[in-house]
A and B are shown apart, each in its own frame.
Chain A
Amino acid sequence: AQSVTQLDSQVPVFEEAPVELRCNYSSSVSVYLFWYVQYPNQGLQLLLKYLSGSTLVKGINGFEAEFNKSQTSFHLRKPSVHISDTAEYFCAVIASNTGNQFYFGTGTSLTVIP
């Protein structure tokens, strides 16, 4: 089975500052990795995903993430955050060849301070 650890439960950051949300995963097989965002009182929305190829993945809203196989990490970054980025962020992993079950991290609450 796979598992995901999101190292920070809460991240406050000032508007226009850069941010990094950390995600580490554990798996004995190859995986696909995802970042989802959940705005208050809404469902989850895909930010970006890594399936294969380039380890730097660009997503919506200016977010990007880098897959690091040796460190089993998939950290999410944004160079300059906006108030509207305030939300809950979830990292998820699924086995690439046999997987049907997503394993989600516990989430990171990003608060952008004006």
Chain B
Amino acid sequence: DSGVTQTPKHLITATGQRVTLRCSPRSGDLSVYWYQQSLDQGLQFLIQYYNGEERAKGNILERFSAQQFPDLHSELNLSSLELGDSALYFCASSVEAGGHNEQFFGPGTRLTVL
């Protein structure tokens, strides 16, 4: 158990819909990262937040957005969903924002878009 929690574990929805994935980082970690893992794209970095502010952006679509709240939990919002958005979405957290910090991964949310 990494100490990072993600809800829900599974999510099934239809094309065009909007969903919200939630992540609670390890106690004391200030930085949160979101990743998408799919069979065709592999594991891709989406976005990073540090202490409530956006720190880095990766291959995140405009239809996706995220935020980190004052209690440090984070939400990833996916809208106008397409079949290709079906994937495993991971959240990770680290103590600080620098690249040398170990990232602790949550168990993931499996999104299926029908």
Residues in chain A within 8 A of chain B (CB atoms): 32, 36, 41-46, 49, 51, 90, 94-96, 99-107
Contact = CB atoms under 8 A, between A and B. Distances in A.
Contact of A103 (B4, B45, B103): B45
Interface stretch (B12-20, B62-70, B71-79, B105-113): B105-113
A104 B99 contact: no
Interface residues of B, number: 24
A95 B99 contact: yes
Given A100-B56, A101-B48, A106 B100 contact: no
Contacts of A36: 105
A103 to B, nearest CB: 7
Given A46-B102, A107-B42, A100 B90 contact: no
Contacts of B97: 100
A101 B100 contact: no
Contact of A32 (B4, B99, B106): B99
Given A32-B99, A43-B2, 12 more contacts: A36-B105, A43-B90, A44-B43, A44-B105, A49-B100, A96-B100, A99-B99, A100-B55, A100-B98, A100-B99, A104-B42, A104-B44
Interface string B51-95: 000011010000000000000000000000000000000101000
Contacts of B56: 100-101
Given A45-B105, A94-B99, A101 B58 contact: yes
B10 to A, nearest CB: 11
Contacts of A99: 99
A43 B108 contact: yes
A99 B94 CA distance: 14
Nearest to B56: A100
B44 A43 contact: no
Most buried by A among B43, B48, B99, B106: B99
A106 B42 contact: yes
Nearest to B33: A102
B8 to A, nearest CB: 15
Nearest to B105: A43
Contacts of A32: 99-100
